Chains A and B, each alone.
Chain A
Amino acid sequence: MSELKLKKISIQNFKSLYNVSFEPGRVNVFIGANGSGKSSVLEAIGVLSASMTDRVNSNSLQRKGVRLSASSLYKSKFLSIEKESKTVDFSVSWGLDYHNYEYINHLTVPNEDDSWKYFAESVSCDGETVYGRSNRTSAQLNNKIGYFTISESLSAKEYSNAAKYIGDYGIYQPDTLTLRGTVADPMQINPIGLNGGRLAEAIQDLIHEDNGDCMFGTMYMEDMLELIDWASEFKVSKPKKTILNPSVPTTQQIIEFKDRYLKDTASFTGYDASEGALYVLFMLALAMHEKAPKMFAIDSFDHAMNPRLARKVAEIFSNKIIEEDKTVFITTHNPLVLDGLDLSNDDIRLFTTERNKYGHVEIRRIQVSDKLIEMNQPLSRLWINGVLGGVPELL
């Protein structure tokens, strides 16, 4: 069985996403001015994922890294809307083994408790409805639970695979303290928490020997160390007072680095290491760890990375995502991240988010010809100069 490939995501009436749809690839990069709706796109996918494979309430949304809003603010509240829609609407279509599937739902936002209710949901395969329900359905169904994973008519393997692929979605927002291991991750999931918790354990899983070569996932350790150029080695070990001050809070496992400019005896942990190194390890661990979600998002991909490092990590990360048949949605404000993307590969897609004159978010896929790039017009420059859009237009 091949791996699922998303075809289209549509969102209506969710926050600033009044009516948007886009066709994702494997690596989906969103750029836009601050407040243009990038994070809302990631969150909408979070609600879609929860609604399709579980239920939508504060718990399920928090587990996916979706910010909890006041109930009334989940729905679009634009001045331009004369008659408010009753529901928030999501749909996702995907291809799997030469078949096309679509899941559609219409949800009402919480009223009395924190549960969203299912006004209607349906699943189709190659245009034929295989499951459907609405408020008018005669059977007594719990309208606070999605039926994709529990309906008898969706018990075949292709549906459970889709549920696993889309249902594991989470929005990762790594933060330095969690990566350093000094604070616990409030959103800890296996293998890495949404804020970067238990990174050491995930790295431990990825370090192995293959035919005499030391590997980090599918990368040679030497290639990995090129990204952390000050380090001669890193490994995972137990904390000990020779490498970590006993007063510093720590985790059971720690990442131990050796600096190539220091004596061999001078090891130190992620607590003392450059934060950029931890973000690199985090990104690549997510891309390559077999237990990490197949579909996930990273808000602010470039955080704490030097622009050149961010460009290289974007390039490697994209390749790993494609190799692993994963789907990722990332946001960035760093132009050089774009230069690490090979847009001639259809699996790698760049999107802008912009607000139109009514404030509604518009999503556009940006494609640039090789000719323009050869004319000394890298994507970073085109973006900064305004040619791609996705910039604050009055600054």
Chain B
Amino acid sequence: MSKVIGIVSEGPTDYLIMKAVIDKISGETNRYLSLQPERDMLGRYGNGWKGVWKWCEETESISALMKEVQPKIDAVVIQMDGDVIRKEKEIHCLCDSTICESKGRVFPLYCDNHGDECPVVIPCIDHENGINGIMGHGEEMLSKALKAENNDNVVFVIPCDSTDAWVVAAYDEMNDIETYKDPWRTIIAKKKEYHGIRVRGDKKNVRTYAVFADKVAENWEIVTQKCKAAMRFDNEIKRILKNSLTKAR
């Protein structure tokens, strides 16, 4: 049975991939809601990883949001790319090893200490290296920000290094694609064409990505074999679908 699924994603291209993949896993044409945080006064944090994190932090009660609007939202998928855990200091503000006066007092996105003024050290010693460590940290961070009573109908997905890796996995015979940094720039947009599809410069285009999204869905099984994050996402989507089936009974 078709579901209503809210997606909080870094951007429209990630949203397209999530939609196509969830339809593939569920075997249904679901209804999707593109959930976004409000931007701040300077127009920031409306999207990107900061927008996703801000959405989690500022959503007062996700269960009320899901239940109190009709048609109700059956599940919420929250996506953030793994590269931010590798690259961004703010992500590690709240980690045990970080010693900082502002820790816990200011939401990291609003902290005034940047660059050298920021005491965060990356790579952060508090997490395992590798894909599992990145996924674990990303999920934990978003989950803490969300402060949900339970995450029964929430799925966190941290594609590594980004959802672009799933595109490469769908098209190319490459192993360990999750360990490649920035697969968009280094693989997909390296030339003007990618598998016969024109790629316009370094900017991601939603029309191009709609084609990629269909390919990812078509080759989803292969993608899950090559990408741990995809496999975890597959399992998580199946879990919430099973949950909603149980509730429906």
Q: Are A386 and B6 in contact (CB under 8 A)?
A: yes
B binding-site residues for A, Cβ under 8 Å: 6, 12, 15-16, 29, 31-38, 60-61, 64-65, 68-71, 73, 206
B111 to A: closest C-beta gap in Å: 24
Contacts between the two chains (Cβ within 8 Å), count: 62
Q: Are B64 and A372 in contact (CB under 8 A)?
A: yes
B60 partner residues in chain A, CB cutoff 8 A: 375-377
Chain A interface main SS type: loop
Q: Are B70 and A366 in contact (CB under 8 A)?
A: yes
20 A–B contacts, CB within 8 A, in A order? A354-B31, A357-B29, A366-B71, A367-B69, A367-B70, A368-B69, A372-B64, A385-B35, A385-B38, A386-B36, A387-B6, A387-B69, A387-B73, A391-B34, A393-B12, A393-B15, A393-B33, A393-B34, A394-B15, A394-B16
Closest to A365 in B: B70
CB proximity to B under 8 Å, residues A316-362: 354, 356-357, 362
A385 to B32, CA, bound (A): 13
Closest to B12 in A: A394
A357 partner residues in chain B, CB cutoff 8 A: 29
Q: Are B71 and A369 in contact (CB under 8 A)?
A: no
Q: Are A386 and B69 in contact (CB under 8 A)?
A: no
A365 partner residues in chain B, CB cutoff 8 A: 70
B30 to A: closest C-beta gap in Å: 10
Closest to A394 in B: B12
Closest to A376 in B: B60
A381 to B206, CA, bound (A): 26
Q: Are A389 and B33 in contact (CB under 8 A)?
A: yes
Chain B interface main SS type: mixed
Residue of B12, B15, B61, B68 with highest tally of chain A CB at under 10 A: B68
Closest to A362 in B: B31
Decide yes or no: A387 and B33 within 8 Å by CB, A372-B65, A382-B69, A394-B16 being known contacts.
yes
Q: Are B34 and A386 in contact (CB under 8 A)?
A: yes
Q: Are B33 and A375 in contact (CB under 8 A)?
A: no
B206 to A: closest C-beta gap in Å: 5
* Total residues of chain A contacting the partner, CB 8 A: 27
Closest to B32 in A: A393
A393 partner residues in chain B, CB cutoff 8 A: 12, 15, 32-34
A375 partner residues in chain B, CB cutoff 8 A: 60-61, 64
B240 to A: closest C-beta gap in Å: 18
A384 lies within 8 A of chain B by Cβ: yes
A367 partner residues in chain B, CB cutoff 8 A: 69-70
B34 partner residues in chain A, CB cutoff 8 A: 386, 391, 393-394
A136 lies within 8 A of chain B by Cβ: no
A364 lies within 8 A of chain B by Cβ: yes
A394 partner residues in chain B, CB cutoff 8 A: 12, 15-16, 34, 206
Q: Are B68 and A368 in contact (CB under 8 A)?
A: yes
A19 to B: closest C-beta gap in Å: 14
A16 to B: closest C-beta gap in Å: 17
Q: Are B37 and A385 in contact (CB under 8 A)?
A: yes
Q: Are A389 and B31 in contact (CB under 8 A)?
A: yes
A254 lies within 8 A of chain B by Cβ: no
A377 to B: closest C-beta gap in Å: 8
A172 to B190, CA, bound (A): 53
A356 to B31, CA, bound (A): 8
A372 to B63, CA, bound (A): 10
Q: A385-B35, A387-B35, A393-B33 are in contact. List 10 more A-B contacts (CB 8 A).
A: A371-B64, A375-B60, A375-B64, A381-B38, A384-B36, A386-B34, A389-B33, A391-B34, A393-B12, A394-B12
A289 to B69, CA, bound (A): 35
CB proximity to B under 8 Å, residues A59-95: none
A156 lies within 8 A of chain B by Cβ: no
Decide yes or no: A372 and B68 within 8 Å by CB, A386-B36, A394-B15 being known contacts.
yes
A179 lies within 8 A of chain B by Cβ: no
A356 partner residues in chain B, CB cutoff 8 A: 29
Q: Are A387 and B65 in contact (CB under 8 A)?
A: yes
A371 partner residues in chain B, CB cutoff 8 A: 64, 68
A395 lies within 8 A of chain B by Cβ: yes
B35 partner residues in chain A, CB cutoff 8 A: 385-387
A388 lies within 8 A of chain B by Cβ: yes
Q: Are B70 and A368 in contact (CB under 8 A)?
A: yes
A328 to B203, CA, bound (A): 44
B211 to A: closest C-beta gap in Å: 14
A368 partner residues in chain B, CB cutoff 8 A: 68-70
Contact of A369 among B31, B37, B68 (CB under 8 A): B68
B70 partner residues in chain A, CB cutoff 8 A: 365-368
Contact of B69 among A354, A384, A388, A391 (CB under 8 A): A388
B147 to A: closest C-beta gap in Å: 14
Closest to B67 in A: A369
A366 partner residues in chain B, CB cutoff 8 A: 69-71
A391 partner residues in chain B, CB cutoff 8 A: 34
A393 to B33, CA, bound (A): 7
CB proximity to B under 8 Å, residues A186-218: none
A382 partner residues in chain B, CB cutoff 8 A: 69
A367 to B67, CA, bound (A): 11
A364 to B32, CA, bound (A): 13
A391 to B46, CA, bound (A): 15
Closest to A381 in B: B38
